[in-house]
Structure 1
Amino acid sequence: MTGIAVAGVTASGKSDLAAYLAARYGGEVISCDSMLVYRGCDVGTAKPTEEEKRGVPHHLIDIFDPDQPFSAADFSVLCEKAEADILSRGKLPVICGGTGLYLDCFLRGGLPEGQPKDDAVRARLEKECDRFGAEEMHRRLKALDPEAAENIHANNVRRVLRALEIIEVSGKTKTELDKQTPQHTCVKDYGVIALGYEDREVRSAAIEKRVRKMFAAGLAEETAELRKNGVFEKCAAAAQAIGYKELFPYLDGRESREDAIMRLTYATRRYAKRQMTWYSAVPYVKWVWVDADGKRKSLENIAEEAARLLELN
């Protein structure tokens, strides 16, 4: 086994477990998150603190400014380099993520084959976007492919137009084609666990606790600063990421702080549900439940179960 990966739902303790396992088994952590690569996006991305890193080297964190694009393919290239560096020093690569598509791309050796394209259709859609605006194009997508629209923020114009292009060219939605895409065979020898909750109420409570902790740590102030600096206009990933856009009504004085907390909590709960569904369909994942009998397990208990499944002992 070349390395291990700790995946799973938000607020399940992935960062804590990855650092714990890396410290225990002589490893280094490779962050697999589309937002942790960006400098200045700290509280809203739950970026691990130095204390939370447990003295373990972490790779692919704070490596780009927010106006620089970063894709699954980019991650795969950088992850390969980090993996080689870690292995060259006799250490264990411990991938920790957040972004399932990035991990999948790395482990499977690339993205699935491209979906249908038509440059003429794309050019026309771009002109329509210039004329009618990004919000209108997103509304069109929502009417035609609600599931794709839910996962693509209106500010991510490139992805919105791509989804509309697929519909026009193929006569099928992006969601339909994604489900028909054949699975790649893993080319990487990694043990992969996913952290999840058996009890939905425990998961919901953990998410609300995390959101309140983020607000106490200065989430609103960070969001306001990023907004003032135009980050959300420059960076589609930041504009789409759960953790920032939910605060805009509060920052505009249109709702209370408590309303903002509950808005973000609700959005994060929906995201966690989608993550559970996504990882449940991935064949190479072994689940580790972080709760039992309505309570959260200790980190040590979770680590022992993970180590057993990964055959680290």
Structure 2
Amino acid sequence: MKKTVIVIVGPTAVGKTNLSIEVAKQFNGEIISGDSMQVYKTMDIGTAKVTPVEMQGIPHYLIDQIEPNEAYSVADFKEDVQKYIHEISERGKLPIIVGGSGLYIQGALYNYHFSDKQRDESITKRLEEQLEKHGISPLYEYLQEVDPAQAEKIHPNNHRRVIRALEIYETTGKKMSEIEATQTKESPYHIIFIGLEMERKLLYEQINHRVDLMMEAGLLAEVKRLYELGLKDCQSMKAIGYKEFIPYFEGFQELEEAIELLKRNSRRYAKRQYTWFKNKMDITWYSMNPDEKIENYKKILKDIEGILKKI
């Protein structure tokens, strides 16, 4: 018997956290964070981590598990998510994943097999230095040479994915396209996908406002503390919300520029999230208009109830 999992996805700042609490209260659920950055302790404001008050007594998992100087891979995430799905289901509760990180969620839900080899930070650093010195073109041409099928799937502007594909090739000797082709298309879970979307102009206004609220809540001090601990080269500090302030701390940028860069990167990330989920998963999408929040929630809860009755 497949375990049932509800998965709530969508771009940043669209309202996933609030909906997840309502779904958990209605259907006796417990929540697993699908945001791979919320696993880090003390990185609260920049990751938009749910607060104890917002939780309303609903148990949350995969939050505050490791220190900011520790690495956390997609394979680690998969193992943790599957463990929590099992434990929550065994207690007679309904697991609800809220995210976030598209590849991570897909890998966990479809039981992808990841390489046992750890990330080679020296290779990543070398590729990042090449990017900084020579731009993306030579790296993208290299990817086209060693893994043309994967290069077709990745836009040259997506520097992180280009570097990741090359890192996998250099670390394992395998093409990322070949690894992806061997992955299973069927999930061991019965998944109810709920996608939240919002008119772009309105979403971007929400994102900009959220960044302003983060700054008021002390984001700068949060990032500065991590920077002063010497963590600027750690995986955790490469996240949006943190990396944008490093040039400011090092005297290369004004604070206002860093804030605007954070807003821009957050908007672009939201667009990438939306596109990724649209292309990769079979999701039922709901338009979220803040003026119709109650009506939106009622429809989603009713639809979930109907699906659960059929399982």
TM-score, structure 1 normalization = 0.80
The answer to whether 1:43 aligns with 2:48 is: no
Show structure 1 runs of 4+ deviating over 4 A: 137-141, 176-183
The equivalent residue for 2:85 is: 83
The equivalent residue for 1:57 is: 59
* Distance in 2 separating the partners of 1:152 and 1:192: 26
Higher mean C-alpha displacement, 206-215 vs 85-94: 85-94
Aligned-pair distance for 1:213?
A: 0.7
Does the CA contact (< 8 Å) of 1:137 and 1:160 recur in 2? no
2:155 to 143, 147, 151: 147
> 1:207 is matched by which residue type in structure 2?
I
Does the CA contact (< 8 Å) of 1:39 and 1:65 recur in 2? yes
Does the CA contact (< 8 Å) of 1:129 and 1:137 recur in 2? no
The equivalent residue for 2:277 is: 279
Q: How many residues align?
A: 289
> How has the CA–CA distance of structure 1 residues 151 and 133 changed in structure 2, closer, same or farther, with 3 Å as cutoff?
closer
Residues 36-93 of structure 1: CA deviation (Å, up to 9, x unaligned): 1110111110111111111111011101112222122211211122122212221111
The equivalent residue for 2:201 is: 201
The equivalent residue for 2:189 is: 188
The answer to whether 1:308 aligns with 2:309 is: no
1:70 to 69, 72, 75: 72
> How has the CA–CA distance of structure 1 residues 177 and 208 changed in structure 2, closer, same or farther, with 3 Å as cutoff?
farther
> How has the CA–CA distance of structure 1 residues 297 and 186 changed in structure 2, closer, same or farther, with 3 Å as cutoff?
farther
* Distance in 2 separating the partners of 1:304 and 1:64: 36
Aligned-pair distance for 1:306?
A: 2.1
Q: How does 1:90-239 map to 2 (within 5 A)?
A: 90-111=92-113, 134-136=128-130, 142-143=136-137, 144-145=139-140, 147=155, 150-152=158-160, 159=164, 162=167, 165=170, 184-197=185-198, 199-233=199-233, 235-236=234-235, 238-239=236-237
Does the CA contact (< 8 Å) of 1:8 and 1:196 recur in 2? yes
Aligned-pair distance for 1:6?
A: 0.8
The equivalent residue for 2:261 is: 263
The equivalent residue for 1:243 is: 241
Residues 262-288 of structure 1: CA deviation (Å, up to 9, x unaligned): 111111111111111101112321111
Residue identity (%): 34
* Distance in 2 separating the partners of 1:265 and 1:11: 12
> How has the CA–CA distance of structure 1 residues 264 and 107 changed in structure 2, closer, same or farther, with 3 Å as cutoff?
same
Does the CA contact (< 8 Å) of 2:112 and 2:183 recur in 1? no
TM-score, structure 2 normalization = 0.80
> How has the CA–CA distance of structure 1 residues 28 and 101 changed in structure 2, closer, same or farther, with 3 Å as cutoff?
same
How large is the Cα RMSD of the aligned pairs?
3.3
The gaps in structure 1 that reach 5 residues or longer are: none
Does the CA contact (< 8 Å) of 1:220 and 1:251 recur in 2? no
